[in-house]
């Protein structure tokens, strides 16, 4: 089911594998639920399918482990 959410998350871990048409990125992100209580966090399991065909436009930017990203889905 499609959803739209916006969050700032810390990329904790990621793996990547390729198929014929896509690069599949499996990402573990961490996001704070409260600015006042740093112990309230949530772990996000994110799976992104990035087309290998460079002619197809995507909104998925390159990233590195340990990087902060503002994500919109």
Residues 73 and 39: their CA atoms lie apart, in Å, by 25
Residue 3, pLDDT > 60, answer yes
Is this structure's pTM higher than 0.85?
no
pLDDT digits (tens, 9 = 90+) for 5-62: 667 778 888 899 999 999 998 989 888 888 888 889 999 898 988 888 888 887 776 7
**What integer pLDDT is reported at residue 48 of this predicted model?**
85
**What integer pLDDT is reported at residue 49 of this predicted model?**
87
Q: Which residue, chain included where needed, has tokens 């990203």?
A: 69
Residue 1, pLDDT > 90, answer no
| Domain range list for the chain | 11-54
């Amino acid at each position: 089911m499609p959803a739209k959410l916006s969050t700032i998350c810390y990329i904790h871990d990621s793996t990547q594998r390729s198929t014929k048409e896509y690069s599949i990125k499996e990402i573990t992100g961490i996001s704070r639920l409260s600015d006042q209580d740093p112990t309230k966090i949530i772990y996000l399991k994110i799976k992104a399918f990035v087309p290998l065909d460079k002619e197809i436009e995507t909104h998925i930017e390159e990233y590195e482990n340990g990087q902060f990203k503002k994500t919109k889905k």
